[in-house]
Amino acid sequence: MRLSFSGLRALLLLPLCCPSLALAEEQTKGQQTHTHTPTHPTTSHPHDVQAKEVEYITTHATTEVTQRGGGLIRPQHGTQSISEVGRSYMDVQAPTASAFQLVSILPGANVATSDPFGISPNTNISVRGLNGDAIGYVLEGMPLNDIASYGGYPNQFADTENYSTAGLQQGSSDLDSPVLNAAGGVMKLSFLDPAFKPGGFASFSYGSFNTRRGFLRLETGEIGHSGVRGFASYSNTHTDNWRSGGYDTRQHIDFKLLKEWGQDNRASLVGSWNRAITSYYPFTSLKDWKTYGTHSGALTHHYEPGDNSYNYWRLSRDPEETLYVGAPVHLRFNQRYSFDITPYAQSAYGNFPYGSQLSGTGNYYGTLPVSSLPLTDNQTVRSEYTQRSYRAGVNMAFHARYKWNDFVMGYWYDYSDDNQRQPFTTVNDDGSSANIWGDKRRDRVLMPNGNPYLAGAFHTMSQVNALYIGDHISLMQDRLAMDIGFKEVMMHRWGTNDVPGPQRTISSNKAEPLPRFGMRWNFTKQDQIFLNVNTNFRAPTASSYYNQYAGTDANGNANGSLSKAGTNHLKNEYSIAEEFGYRRTGEWITASVTFFNYNFRNRQIKTGEPNNPNISTSINAGKQTSRGVDVEIGTRPWHHLSPYASFEYLHATIDSNIAARGDLLPTAGKTAIRSPHFQAGAGLRYDDGHFFSMVTMHYMSHQYATFMNDERIPAIMTADLALGYRFNNIGVLQKPTLRLNLSNLSNQRYLSGINSTAFNAHTTTGLHGTRIKGSSPDYFIGSPFAALASFTAGF
């Protein structure tokens, strides 16, 4: 391996590193240090990094040796903008932190949370004004998005201790990214590599709201003389809800097996299993927030029979179980030819219930009346929303190098099966349910014919075939590099609506061409400029295709009429993203400035049908333009201090008037929703090898929740603090560490983000004179001050 002066200097700074790095050093003493390339096809290349710009080596994993920006910034050399946090930053954060929380102060990241410790699924991220369902999530080359709604649930992804990097590619996905919804970019997550020697890592945490968590990772080291090594980890978390009644639990397993051989050959098996039961945090309207504050919409701690019984917290117990498995393989045949393949599979089951009241008569099953149900009038029940999904696919690419070209030709196949049902289950006299999973027929409310009574049911299958081809061109000893690529994504979706009505089947065939171009020029050894033009898309969600029934008449009585009209005429959302930027990777400073421009069309939103405002549907809402600049800067440690700062200016506008209630809302020229004009982040870390501390701050200007810009949440500013001490080795314990994480230091009471949006909050006159009544968006309520103490050690 070539090791530059900066790399040698980094080795000398080894005592300043995080505990996992120190553990890696102990585990790899006497072993050969090695480098490796990515384990799945990407548009970046190892030779993009010049020898004098090497900033890290690989021992236990791709571990940072110099903590530039406290671990919040890493040198980049590709043609697209990306911001990454490394292991050294993660090692001073709360062990419960989710992937969203880890990237929350990177430029462009707008993270909304409901709890301080990242356990609740009530969270969201938007990037440069584009919502989380327009972001792709990829772990070790396999997709993590919900296959129906495209949302991301970071509490399911992996335990924080097992990540090596977490990156946010703000502008677009890679040519080979296996995603269907990345109109707004992609989040890329990577696991640590297993250690060469047997051992492990353990931690225990306790903190506010009776939060307690245990984590254990066991390392096999090399198994015999096979060259195979692996790790497996288990964590168990419990926390009481800080608002409303109830508590959350989470069990999680991660594992990775790895074999490396020859020159640059790798094969691995990775996976994550997650089982969580959470109490859904209620959202709030702005009016209720101003009136009730953090008590707005709070669920009751005790069951109260009567009109308020459906607000009991146990009726909103949200159980979920997921499994992700992938097998990334990289084979190098010789200096010219290599092959990458990543087969993957995943399964998921979840129930997203809420309390409601249902009577024994006056009900409709789809369009058919139901004579009776075994219920009393206005009996409290659990309205279940169950989703069972399976997904499998493979992503493969063949690389061929010839002179200054590195050609890639790839194929991605993906098959998914998604089954969603909306049954009802009865509850006991104390408000508890015999089966919170809602998956047993015996617990459901049955119709006279013995079948479950369902408010909705649809079953969707999807098949994706994607072909991509590209060329990475390296000229002038790699001072000038260009990426040229084209991807064609073909998606066939079919399904059934399983409740009675005129709609029985749906079918859709869509194809999307995605050309791209990027260039990077190193005009000095430390300075470079880059530019790119990329195209991305987002397919319609599964639910947009289906009719839903149980509408009401003028008196509020159910009559089996249409309440939501499905459509298969929606076009894919499509974005053309342009970026131009400058990067510096100097001896002391790592920095980047990125100017960006999005042209976004065929935005998909839900609204009322033009001819019947009481029926909702999904429509093409036209165009949006987003322009701005991202800045981030960090330094290497100086007198044990390493600062970091990020900034974004965003000007995002709606370019079309939106159809609503048979008229047009004058939305053209308005600011786009979830698009704060300014946001900034900062971090300052002190680390002398034993004592360490890090303070991080985040500011977000106001952001609109309505397309008419008549309701918004105010600006947000929060700060967090981490303090800790690393001891010398004690017997078998390697670098035992005590750490205290304090979140929301000033105990701000604030709305952390926008959950659901609305066209207009107040009555508005349309362009054709119609008085269009407003509706209230709802919001995430940010958590108060919280503390978490942790003890960690390797062995």
Q: What is the DSSP string of 556-581?
A: S-B----SEE--S-PPPEEEEEEEEE
Closest CA to 479 of 47, 783, 142: 47
Q: Which residues, 6 or more positions from 36, have their beta carbon under 8 angstroms from its beta carbon?
A: 58, 260, 264, 266
pLDDT band for position 608 (50/70/90)?
low
C-beta atoms surrounding 484 within 10 Å: 17
pLDDT of residue 740: 97
Percent of the chain clearing pLDDT 70 (strictly above): 89
90 secondary structure, DSSP code: H
- Tokens representing residue 615 in the block: 């029926």
What's the CA gap between 557 and 575, in Å, rounded? 43
Q: Which residue has the higher pLDDT, 581 or 537?
A: 581
pLDDT at position 539 over 50? yes
| Sign of the alpha-carbon torsion through 288, 289, 292, 294 | positive
What's the CA gap between 166 and 269, in Å, rounded? 19
Strand 337-351 and strand 386-402: the pairing is antiparallel
pLDDT of residue 412: 97
Buried b (16+ CB within 10 A) or exposed e, 673-702: bbbbeebbbbbbbbbeeeebbbbbbbbbbe
| Helix, strand, coil % over all residues of the chain, rounded to 5 | 10, 50, 40
Mean pLDDT rounded to a whole number for the chain: 87
- Tokens representing residue 740 in the block: 């205290």
Closest CA to 323 of 397, 238, 391, 401: 391
pLDDT of residue 297: 84
The vertex-177 CA angle with 655 and 472, nearest 5°, equals 100
Lowest mean pLDDT across 422-426, 608-612, 698-702: 608-612
pLDDT of residue 543: 87
pLDDT of residue 305: 78
For residues 3-29, average pLDDT: 35
Beta bridge partners of 565: 617
pLDDT (tens digit per residue) in 370-427? 989 999 888 899 999 999 999 999 999 999 999 999 999 999 999 999 999 999 999 9
Q: Which amino acid is at 622?
A: G
Query: What do you get for the CA distance between the two ends of the chain, in Å?
Result: 29
- Tokens representing residue 458 in the block: 């649809």
Query: What is the three-class DSSP state of 349?
Result: strand
Beta bridge partners of 687: 692
Which residue's structure tokens are 């499509």? Answer: 574
What's the CA gap between 656 and 63, in Å, rounded? 47
Closest CA to 720 of 746, 752, 751: 746
Closest CA to 16 of 685, 687, 485, 683: 687
pLDDT band for position 613 (50/70/90)?
low
pLDDT of residue 62: 38
Query: What is the three-class DSSP state of 89?
Result: helix
Reported as type and span, the H/E element at residue 331 is: strand 329-332
What's the CA gap between 200 and 192, in Å, rounded? 13
This prediction's pTM: 0.88
